[in-house]
Structure 1
Amino acid sequence: MPQFIPDPSSFDILRGKVIVITGGAQGIGAGLVTRLHQLGAKVIFGDISQPHSQSLLESLGNPPTVTAVEADLATYSGNYRLFRTAFDQYGHVDHALGNAALFEHPGPSSWIDPNLTIDTVGDEALAHPHNKILDLNVYGLCVFARMAAVFLRENRPAGEKDASITLFGSVCCIRDSPGAYIYQTSKLAILGLLRSMRKPVLETFGIRTNTICPGVTQSPMTKRVFHRIQARGLSTQKVDDVVDMTLGLMSDPTINGRSLYVERGTGWEFEEELDRSMQIWLGEEPTKLLRANAEYVNTGALLRDED
């Protein structure tokens, strides 16, 4: 896979930019809020946890250029409130980062549970925690993308051509994650969202869309497993490693439609490589058939009622 090496000197292009972030109170989101504030960006972040949001603001010295919005980002109204707050405050939005997500936990409520029986599996209460994961990780992110496509094209500053949407996936987009039934499913959906957006959203609105897929990162989401993985000498990384790669994608106006696997401060782009090597892993004949269909679909055929 082509290695992606961000140029930190390019990050200064984000100074003064209006940037919306979901799930900004902890973990990678908080790291992004912090670094973007240090770079001089105007940051509006949403999170359902007011105490964590307030703690982050206090750690930054309650700067006027960082705004926290209490919002349930699994809902339509929560996402709208976040973007509307940014727009009403600054008159436009330059970049949007969809980071909010939930992870499932093992135990009696595991989705595929050997202890479930034909009687107990009918209890609808078993679905509630997993519905929350799908609501935030899939529906919430789809709503986020819809809002971003509208707000990022409104009142674009004169001479400012670049705007971007960054969707946060996971290493689960690439490898098996046994037992993370709903989480892995939800993260794979993000690749589908990227692949459906990257062409029409750029061509129609001039907005770039990319995806970050981090490996195991030290954050509240991974606290249950992080040290066990680290103790075995396996690959782990810090929040700043992911932040640098994200800023690199945001800062380069030529990058669109890419998925970046991030591990130990290094990034590898895999969308283009998957396409380039298709004949090797899929075969010559099916690749020919697929590409012929794709050529037609890429004309926007799926969006038309009829030819």
Structure 2
Amino acid sequence: MMTAPKAIYPDLANKTVAITGGASGIGAAIVSAFHEQGAKVIFFDIDVASGHELAKELGKNAYFYELDLTDLNQLTKVFSVASQEVGPINILVNNGANDMRHDLMAVTPDYWRQSLAVNLDHQFFAAKAVIPYMCEQQTGAIVNMSSIAWRLGLENAPAYVASKAAIEGLTHSLARELGPEGIRVNCILPGFVETPKQLEKWITPDIQEQILNSQCLKRFNKPPDIANIVLMLASDVSQAMTNQTIVADAGWI
């Protein structure tokens, strides 16, 4: 299959970019994509081994910080430290998530709260942490990662689905409030993306056939496909775009 050509966005060079959940999967592809553009890339993850490995692989201008995104007080502190050590953050990509499956009747209040903490809460507080820097510069871009799961009504994942629906609503709210400060906020809804985790945990031959039959394009999207869209939304080439949702699902919905 032909590899998609890589676009160059000169305005991203030397920008400071913060990416949550950046140690593996889609997040690692986003980290690598910004690094290739010449940006200074800060990325956060609870997976310390993978985070350090990726930072070592990328080398200069790649900065990994260990962070449990569900610890909101620690999130604020770590973002502050990263901004002081690397520089004021120009671009935020809220990528961190965990698409855990769960039986409807087995969901407890604690599980529900934990799922929203992993998939939703940190997106707001990460944005809150970088907004002061962006307001000072009167420019900035925030890209929130949601999912088509909520539009599909994915079964066996009500807490995850609710989180992903809320992210699109959060995007609209932030875009409206931050627009006067020159800050753009957009949202991406990926469909199925072929990552090692997805292949290991969820994909069987039957599910693979079902997904491909549902898509217009008969191929699985891969992490760099999503990273390419993030780059475009972060760059000034999309300066006319805010308060928008981009569906990247190979034509599933």
- Give me the TM-score of the superposition, normalised by structure 2: 0.85
One-letter code aligned to 1:262: A
Which has the higher Rg, Structure 1 or Structure 2?
1
Please say if residues 8 and 37 of structure 2, whose CA atoms lie closer than 8 Å, have aligned partners that are also in contact: no
Q: Which residue of 2 aligns with 1:181?
A: 158
1:212 has 2:196 as partner? no
One-letter code aligned to 1:38: E
Q: Which residue of 2 aligns with 1:237?
A: 221
Displacement after TM superposition at 1:245 (Å): 1.0
Q: Which residue of 2 aligns with 1:93?
A: 89
Write the deviation string for residues 200-253 of structure 1: whole angstroms up to 9, x where unpaired.
Answer: 1111x2211000110001125523224543344344310011111111111122
2:174 is matched with which residue: 194, 197, 219? 197
Q: Which residue of 1 aligns with 2:115?
A: 133
Q: Which residue of 2 aligns with 1:36?
A: 34
- Give me the TM-score of the superposition, normalised by structure 1: 0.71
Displacement after TM superposition at 1:10 (Å): 5.2
Alignment of 1:72-151 (within 5 A): 72-106=68-102, 110-113=103-106, 126-151=108-133
One-letter code aligned to 1:42: K
Identity %: 26
Instruction: Give me the whole-angstrom Cα distance separating, in 2, the residues matched to 1:95 and 1:132.
Output: 27
Instruction: Give me the whole-angstrom Cα distance separating, in 2, the residues matched to 1:195 and 1:55.
Output: 35
Instruction: Give me the whole-angstrom Cα distance separating, in 2, the residues matched to 1:88 and 1:112.
Output: 46
1:171 has 2:148 as partner? yes
What SS does the aligned partner of 1:93 have? coil
2:49 is matched with which residue: 40, 46, 51? 51
One-letter code aligned to 2:195: S
Instruction: Give me the whole-angstrom Cα distance separating, in 1, the residues matched to 2:49 and 2:175.
Output: 36
What SS does the aligned partner of 1:112 have? helix
Instruction: Give me the whole-angstrom Cα distance separating, in 2, the residues matched to 1:240 and 1:267.
Output: 18
Instruction: Give me the whole-angstrom Cα distance separating, in 2, the residues matched to 1:148 and 1:111.
Output: 36
Instruction: Give me the whole-angstrom Cα distance separating, in 2, the residues matched to 1:45 and 1:137.
Output: 17
One-letter code aligned to 2:241: I
Please say if residues 71 and 81 of structure 1, whose CA atoms lie closer than 8 Å, have aligned partners that are also in contact: no
Q: Specify whether residues 221 and 195 from structure 1 end up closer, same or farther in structure 2 by C-alpha distance, changes over 3 A only.
A: farther
One-letter code aligned to 1:111: L
Displacement after TM superposition at 1:86 (Å): 3.0
One-letter code aligned to 2:146: G
Q: Specify whether residues 78 and 29 from structure 1 end up closer, same or farther in structure 2 by C-alpha distance, changes over 3 A only.
A: farther
Q: Which residue of 1 aligns with 2:23?
A: 25
The answer for unaligned runs of 5 or more in structure 2 is none
Q: Specify whether residues 135 and 88 from structure 1 end up closer, same or farther in structure 2 by C-alpha distance, changes over 3 A only.
A: same
What SS does the aligned partner of 2:104 have? coil
One-letter code aligned to 1:166: V
Instruction: Give me the whole-angstrom Cα distance separating, in 2, the residues matched to 1:54 and 1:183.
Output: 28
What SS does the aligned partner of 2:142 have? strand
Instruction: Give me the whole-angstrom Cα distance separating, in 1, the residues matched to 2:140 and 2:49.
Output: 31
Q: Specify whether residues 200 and 45 from structure 1 end up closer, same or farther in structure 2 by C-alpha distance, changes over 3 A only.
A: same
One-letter code aligned to 2:131: A
One-letter code aligned to 1:193: L
Write the deviation string for residues 92-114 of structure 1: whole angstroms up to 9, x where unpaired.
Answer: 111001010112224xxx2324x
Please say if residues 83 and 151 of structure 1, whose CA atoms lie closer than 8 Å, have aligned partners that are also in contact: no
Displacement after TM superposition at 1:9 (Å): 4.1
Q: Specify whether residues 26 and 129 from structure 1 end up closer, same or farther in structure 2 by C-alpha distance, changes over 3 A only.
A: farther
2:61 is matched with which residue: 53, 58, 65? 65
Instruction: Give me the whole-angstrom Cα distance separating, in 2, the residues matched to 1:69 and 1:37.
Output: 16
Displacement after TM superposition at 1:91 (Å): 3.4
Write the deviation string for residues 111-140 of structure 1: whole angstroms up to 9, x where unpaired.
Answer: 324xxxxxxx8xxxx444443211121211
Q: Specify whether residues 226 and 238 from structure 1 end up closer, same or farther in structure 2 by C-alpha distance, changes over 3 A only.
A: farther
Please say if residues 80 and 129 of structure 2, whose CA atoms lie closer than 8 Å, have aligned partners that are also in contact: no
